[in-house]
Amino acid sequence: MKTTRVFAGVAALIIVCSGAAMVGTAAQSKSASDSVAGNWSIKVTGTPHGDLNMALTLKQKDDKLTGTFASPHGDLPVEGQFVKGELSLATTAEPNITFKGRLQDDGTLAGYLSSERGDMTFTATRTKGTE
């Protein structure tokens, strides 16, 4: 009888610890997916000049974003938000460029940007060391 109680107690402890570890992992994953802060390498397709590689640097406070978009027009300041996996950005200087995208399961961003030259698609990956 004592052996059964000890075994039951050990089994219960293992289950509780496993559940706590899973909750900790879920919390870490959630907080990582709640942020797009850092440096991004962007590939824009559908431009009049063919595919272009550019850069985006973002800072995030809660759901508000600020940063810089390194484009062929020079570095452009951007502002926007990141809510429930959805990215919405716009340049705050000419030319006017807007970004709409979604954080993908693999940690990349994908969406489209619009400018006076039309709509183009983009994919973005984090630059190593900025996760």
Question: What's the mean pLDDT in 103-120?
Answer: 95
Looking at the domain that runs over 36-126, which CATH code has it been given?
Answer: 2.40.128.120
* In the block, residue with structure tokens 């994919």: 123
For residue 7, what pLDDT band results from cuts at 50, 70 and 90? very low
If you write DSSP's letter for every residue of 14-48 in order, what string do you get? HHHHHHHHHHHHHHHHHHHHT---EEEEEEEES-T
The whole-number pLDDT of residue 63 equals 97
Higher pLDDT, 45 or 12: 45
- Whether the model clears a pTM of 0.75, i.e. scores above it, the answer is no
